[in-house]
Amino acid sequence: MVWRYSRKPINLQKHEKEKLLRVIEEEVLKTSKVRNKASKIDIRAGRVYIYEQYEPIQIEGVVYTKPLIDGRYLQIPYLRITLYNKSYTDCTLDFQRHNDQWMTLYDGTLQECISEAEKSEWFE
């Protein structure tokens, strides 16, 4: 039998989420690839989700964005950062695979995870 240590993401209060959102927005603005892909940032259950707007229609080389029925655009998860402490020094950078499973690519601080997403070929 193999014992595996399972870390749990932190719980954040509303004011902590607002502070974290400002920190993430500042870090994303320092990048180019992540900044261009990011259409929405969401913080849920100790995890930061950065979404990319999905543009499914391309006609004669021109890409058209098709709104859904409710007038919103389809957004898919681009990356996920899981936070394990409130100082944001223990985080993981995760990539969503084709089977909706998350795969951890990097362990480090929040700033390092965003920087790694900028450099990584997984986030093209």
pLDDT in tens, the chain (124 residues): 555 567 899 999 999 999 999 999 999 999 999 999 998 999 999 999 999 987 666 667 766 665 556 656 778 899 999 999 999 999 999 999 988 899 999 999 999 999 999 999 988 8
Q: Residue with structure tokens 């595996």?
A: 4
* Contacts of residue 15, Cβ cutoff 8 Å, sequence gap at least 6: none
Helices 14-29/110-119 angle, 10° precision:
40
Mean residue pLDDT across the chain? 87
* Contacts of residue 3, Cβ cutoff 8 Å, sequence gap at least 6: none
Q: Where are the domains of the chain?
A: 14-116
What is the per-residue pLDDT for 124?
A: 80
What is the per-residue pLDDT for 75?
A: 83
CA distances from 110 to 49, 60, 88 (A): 13, 41, 6
Residues 34-66: pLDDT tens digits? Answer: 999 998 999 999 999 999 987 666 667 766 665
From 79, 76, 88, select the one nearest 22 (Cα to Cα).
88
Question: Phi, psi at residue 7, to the nearest 5°?
Answer: -80, 150
CA distances from 107 to 70, 83, 84 (A): 38, 10, 11
- Residue type (1 letter), 72: R
Find out whether 82 and 44 touch, Cβ atoms under 8 Å.
no
Find out whether 28 and 34 touch, Cβ atoms under 8 Å.
yes
What is the per-residue pLDDT for 25?
A: 95
